[in-house]
A and B are shown apart, each in its own frame.
Chain A
């Protein structure tokens, strides 16, 4: 299956060490998938910490998650799912060689990601305002549990790392818009769009798990 085929009618690859464009497309997509594997295990460490502490202190997680606003968490979920849709539409556009559609869809995705970050900012500001800070700096006394600070450490680590990934996604998509305007992409070559799309969907999937794990404990 992976044998580079040697028949003559093949698209030329973008980079010379590949045999043809198909080999390059499949290789770069596999590379992105392997990168996503590392991302899953990277977040996996935080999920492990979450599970261990939740198994130790179930009552802490029930009490502390009341401090999180389910409404804004749900809104952010909707925002991210919509952005996943627009990124999929962006890939569809470039596959059909509609570069204008690609750029419009990317802009919508970037705006949705921006909305997500703004909501996140207000959530953080509200918490920091009342003294809900990670670990040693925790001064809030609304949660009646001696390890409440650890719940919020995990909360900040998980959502913070996720937020950084959203920011990285925004920059990647700005770069894609720039490249698209310069005419780099076509239905024959769109590997970076495909890769960024996969990355963005993974960011979405991680949020799909963070939302019930952090906000929806009753």
Chain B
């Protein structure tokens, strides 16, 4: 448990460059026009990787107490519960009276 992790300047620059490269990649992916399901998956996949890098190395979760990482995980889990169960309704609704 070291709350006072000090990163080197070189390391922080490296993280930022990785993030900028991934930004370039995601725009490039948009130009390439992947077929439908892959389109979303690739772009969100890149976004998840970027978010992970920020959380782990800029927000120091990598070195922090596990509980703070657990908090982040829980918030995402409950967001998934919220969206997932709502979709159980909105995706499977059939009009009780067609055309209503």
Residues of A within 8 A of B (CB): 1, 22, 25-26, 29-30, 33-34, 36-37, 40-41, 44-45, 47-48, 51-52, 55-56, 70, 74, 77-78, 81-82, 84-85, 87-89, 92, 95-96, 197-198, 201-202, 204-205, 208-209, 211-213, 216-218
Instruction: Give Cα A64–Cα B23 distance, bound, in whole angstroms.
Output: 22
Name B73-100 residues within 8 Å CB distance of A. Answer: 74-76, 78-79, 82-83, 86-87, 90-91
Task: Identify which of B4, B26, B51, B79 contacts A95 (C-beta below 8 A).
Answer: B4
B-side binding surface: helix, strand, loop or mixed? helix
Q: Which residues of A contact B23 (CB under 8 A)?
A: 74, 77-78, 81, 211
A-side binding surface: helix, strand, loop or mixed? helix
CB <8 Å contact, A37 and B72: yes
A48-B86 contact given A25-B3, A92-B6, A218-B33, CB 8 Å threshold: yes
**Closest approach, in angstroms, between the C-beta of A173 and any C-beta of chain B?**
16
User: Can you name 11 A-B pairs with beta carbons within 8 Å?
Assistant: A26-B3, A29-B3, A41-B75, A48-B79, A74-B23, A81-B19, A81-B20, A88-B15, A92-B12, A95-B6, A204-B54
Q: Which residues of B contact A77 (CB under 8 A)?
A: 23
Name B1-59 residues within 8 Å CB distance of A. Answer: 1, 3-4, 6-7, 9, 12-13, 15-16, 19-20, 23, 26-27, 29-30, 33, 39, 43-44, 46-47, 50-51, 54-55, 58-59
**Closest approach, in angstroms, between the C-beta of A180 and any C-beta of chain B?**
18
CB <8 Å contact, A208 and B65: no
For A51, give the chain B residue with the smallest CB separation: B83
Q: Which residues of A contact B72 (CB under 8 A)?
A: 33, 36-37, 40
**7 tightest A-B CB contacts, nearest first:** A85-B16, A212-B43, A37-B75, A44-B79, A40-B75, A216-B30, A33-B68
